[in-house]
Structure 1
Amino acid sequence: MPEVKVSRLSKRFGGNAVLHDITFTIADGEFFTLLGPSGCGKSTTLACIAGLERPTSGSIAVGPATFVDSGTFVPPEGRNLGMVFQSYALWPHMTVAQNLAMPLKIRKVERRRQDELIAEALGKVGLAELKDRYPHQLSGGQQQRVALARALVYSPSVLLLDEPLSNLDAQLREQARAWLKRLQAELGITTVYVTHDQEEALALSDRIAVMSEGDMVQIGTPKEIYETPATARVAAFVGRCNFLTGTMTGQAEVRLDCTGQTWAVLPGTADIGRRVSVAIRPERLEILSADRAAPSGVNVLTAQVLTSSYIGSRYEYDLRLGDHVIQVESGRAGLAGEVTLLADPAACLVYPTTDVLPKDAEALITVSH
């Protein structure tokens, strides 16, 4: 399977710019995810690759074939790309086999060969016995597999998936996610996946491109994106974060606004005197048990328990830290009153306050007064 190269891709709808100089390369056989909130430009990027939207500027190439460049625009039917839409877009009056036959008929594939390819594609998704059923006779998960089989039936060079699991319930979505990952690995097909679900992106992807307001703000492995987010925007969107403002008082010290306490961070994160935001994920804050002394080299904080929630595998606590409310995850039950928190400096991510958080991330972070 070929690699995908997107260079300086821009797209405008009238006077509204929705993509700004987007550049990335997807390796042969890679599962690459475009992640971001609604309106960030991820689906528009996918549509440009598919040929459903014509970019305002930039270039797109798949292997040796150039699809978009100055003076060049290959229409969708000339790109040999497989696409699965969020709605699945199955023909309701056609059987499963007839739905899969449509792209083969368009390509003028001989009838006997059509039957072979349909059987092979349905076998890949485990639905060979349902070829004579109609879409309304299938579950949501089965319809999703039919849509994927239709995208694979003509052996596309690249598979494009636009939030294909979003219509499934939570349990079925987890099962479909695991199955999709196994199938993609078995086929080795280069895949571009669009989602706003951070957990889905982390679980499925070889690499993730985080998008915000038409910009690509970070590309990296799931571990890189989650553990070392390049900006406050990425930290806010991928997972949850507590954000505390302060001032750098040393090479590795921040005086927090909420408590006036000096907090140790990794050295070299910002200049002395610089206003910063310190981000730390709820699971990286530890609640110290009463029978244990605080270890050296970590930040020790005192907070008040406000609320607790049991969510199965862990407890989530809202704690008041000075004039802020922060979130902490813990395996310990029944905490109340005053508690002691530990924060490892290595877990504290420091960003300049000029690295503003997007409006669409405000509901995903903990910054409460």
Structure 2
Amino acid sequence: MPEVKVTHLSKQFGDNAVLRDISFTIADGEFFTLLGPSGCGKSTTLACIAGLERPTRGSIAVGSSTFVDTGTFVPPEGRNLGMVFQSYALWPHMTVARNLAMPLKIRKVDRREQDRLIADALDKVGLAGLSDRFPHQLSGGQQQRVALARALVYSPSVLLLDEPLSNLDAKLRDQARAWLKRLQTELGITTVYVTHDQEEALALSDRIAVMSRGDMVQIGTPQDIYERPATAEVAAFVGRCNFLTGATTGPREVRLDCTGQTITVPDTAPGGPVTVAIRPERLEILPPGRAAPAGANVLTAEVLTSSYVGSRHEYDLRLGDHVIQAETSRPGLTGEVVLAVEPAACLLYPATGALPEDAAALVTTAQ
């Protein structure tokens, strides 16, 4: 399977710049995810690769074939790309087999070869015995597999998936996610996946591109994106985070505004105001009488509320004049508690006057 190369891609609708100078390369066989909130440009990027949208500027190439460049625009039917839409877009009056036959008929594939390819595609997605059913006779998960089989039946060079699991309920979505990853690994097909679901992106992807307002903010492995977010905005969108403002007092020291306490951070802090981001699971709630690990920052907080969510307990805590969140396996915590956090868990960003919208929503002032 070929690599996908997108270079200086821009797209405008009138005066509205939806994509701004986007560039990235997807390796052969890679599962690459475009992640971001609604309106960030991820679906428009996918549509430009598919040929459903014509970019304002930039180039797109798959392997040795150039699809978009100055004076060049290959229409969708000339790109040999497989696409699965959020709605699945199955023809309701056609059986499963006839749905899969349609792209083969367009390509003028011989009828006997059509039967073989359809049987092979349905076998790959685990629907070998359902070729004569109509879409309304299938569950949502089965319809999703039919849509995927239709995208695979003509052996596309690249698979494009636009939020294909969003119509499934939570448990079925988890099952479909695991199945889809196994299938993509077995087929080795280069895949571009669009989602706003951070957990889905982390679980499925070889690499993730986080998008915001038409820009690519960070590209990296799931671990890079979660453990080393490039900006406070990425930290806020991918996973939960506590955001605390402060000021630099030394090379690796920050004084928190909410408590006046000085904490140690892992890197040399920029001068002036900063934002410290801490994941809830990196805050350790210490049992009474237990000393904090050597070198850890120690904070005193007050339990406000607790929630049992099955695998863990989530706590809202008052830290100075802020409310923060922490996770632990310990139930029934009340009153004043001691928190320990390693310096390496304190993500540090220059303050820009106001937190990003997603981050600001997670910062609450305690009354």
TM-score > 0.5, shorter chain as reference: yes
Q: 1:333-364: per-residue Cα shift (whole Å, max 9, x none)?
A: 0000000000110000000012854335544x
Asked if 1:323 is matched to 2:325, the reply is no
Cross-structure match for 1:256: 256
- Do the aligned residues in 2 keep the contact of 1:326 with 1:368 (CA within 8 Å)? no
- Do the aligned residues in 2 keep the contact of 1:242 with 1:367 (CA within 8 Å)? no
- Quickly say closer, same or farther: Cα 1:121–1:314, change in 2 above 3 A: same
- Do the aligned residues in 1 keep the contact of 2:233 with 2:358 (CA within 8 Å)? no
**1:251 Cα deviation from its structure 2 partner:** 0.4
Cross-structure match for 1:204: 204
Cross-structure match for 2:23: 23
The aligned runs of 1:223-238 (5 Å cut-off) are 223-238=223-238
2:210 and 2:21 map into 1 onto residues whose CA distance is 14
Cross-structure match for 2:123: 123
Gap runs ≥5 in structure 2: none
- Do the aligned residues in 1 keep the contact of 2:254 with 2:269 (CA within 8 Å)? no
Q: How many residues align?
A: 366
**1:35 Cα deviation from its structure 2 partner:** 0.3
Cross-structure match for 1:2: 2
Cross-structure match for 2:278: 280
Cross-structure match for 1:244: 244
Cross-structure match for 1:294: 292
**1:367 Cα deviation from its structure 2 partner:** 4.1
2:323 and 2:242 map into 1 onto residues whose CA distance is 9
Q: How big is the alpha-carbon RMSD for the aligned residues of Structure 1 and Structure 2?
A: 1.0
The aligned runs of 1:76-95 (5 Å cut-off) are 76-95=76-95
**1:266 Cα deviation from its structure 2 partner:** 1.1
The aligned runs of 1:1-369 (5 Å cut-off) are 1-271=1-271, 274-354=272-352, 357-360=355-358, 362-363=360-361, 365-369=362-366
2:359 and 2:262 map into 1 onto residues whose CA distance is 27
TM-score by length of structure 1 reads: 0.98
- Do the aligned residues in 2 keep the contact of 1:51 with 1:75 (CA within 8 Å)? yes
2:365 and 2:12 map into 1 onto residues whose CA distance is 36
- Do the aligned residues in 1 keep the contact of 2:209 with 2:216 (CA within 8 Å)? yes
Q: 1:157-211: per-residue Cα shift (whole Å, max 9, x none)?
A: 0000000000000000000000000000000000000000000000000000000
1:155 and 1:179 map into 2 onto residues whose CA distance is 19
2:216 and 2:45 map into 1 onto residues whose CA distance is 11
TM-score by length of structure 2 reads: 0.98
1:211 and 1:43 map into 2 onto residues whose CA distance is 11
- Do the aligned residues in 2 keep the contact of 1:233 with 1:356 (CA within 8 Å)? no
**1:268 Cα deviation from its structure 2 partner:** 1.6
- Quickly say closer, same or farther: Cα 1:208–1:356, change in 2 above 3 A: farther
- Do the aligned residues in 1 keep the contact of 2:300 with 2:337 (CA within 8 Å)? yes
Q: 1:43-94: per-residue Cα shift (whole Å, max 9, x none)?
A: 0000000000000000000000000001100000000000000000000000
- Segment of structure 1 superposing worse, 346-355 or 173-182: 346-355
1:302 and 1:255 map into 2 onto residues whose CA distance is 15
- Do the aligned residues in 1 keep the contact of 2:29 with 2:189 (CA within 8 Å)? yes
1:74 and 1:15 map into 2 onto residues whose CA distance is 25
| Helix, strand or coil at the partner of 1:103 | helix
Gap runs ≥5 in structure 1: none
- Do the aligned residues in 1 keep the contact of 2:34 with 2:211 (CA within 8 Å)? yes
- AA matched with 1:80: N
- Do the aligned residues in 2 keep the contact of 1:236 with 1:357 (CA within 8 Å)? no
Runs of 4 or more off by more than 2 Å in structure 1?
355-363, 365-369
1:158 and 1:165 map into 2 onto residues whose CA distance is 19
1:221 and 1:254 map into 2 onto residues whose CA distance is 29
1:182 and 1:368 map into 2 onto residues whose CA distance is 44
2:354 and 2:212 map into 1 onto residues whose CA distance is 12
